[in-house]
Amino acid sequence: FCPYDSAPYRDKFTLFLTKEGFDESVNNQGFLPLGGKKVLVRLNGKVFEADLDGKNDLPADIEVFIWTVLTKYAYLVG
């Protein structure tokens, strides 16, 4: 029995811990912390670097999500 009717690891926005993992998971949307307030993001088929300290191309809800992970759940990043 599986409670999901999909592939949740592909449907959910992923926190990547390594560049290798980010590069290998080309179908997963998510982000890789680069240090400070910079992240590498894969969203809607595009990969780009975003600076959370300035203007960026992130949708507001995704930016808030990433910011929350980096500030309130920093232990996940290492």
| 24 belongs to a structural domain | yes
pLDDT of residue 41: 98
Report mean pLDDT in 10-residue bins for the chain, 78 residues.
62 92 94 96 96 95 96 91
Give CA separation, 32 vs 1, 2, 6, 60, 73, in Å: 32, 29, 24, 18, 14
pLDDT at residue 78 in the model: 77
Q: How many residues in total does the chain contain?
A: 78
Question: Per the domain annotation, does 3 fall within a domain?
Answer: no
Q: Let me know if residue 78 belongs to a domain.
A: no
Amino acid symbol at 17: L
The predicted structure's pLDDT at residue 12: 84
**pLDDT at site 47:** 97
Q: Which amino acid is at 60?
A: A
1 within domain boundaries: no
pLDDT of 59: 96
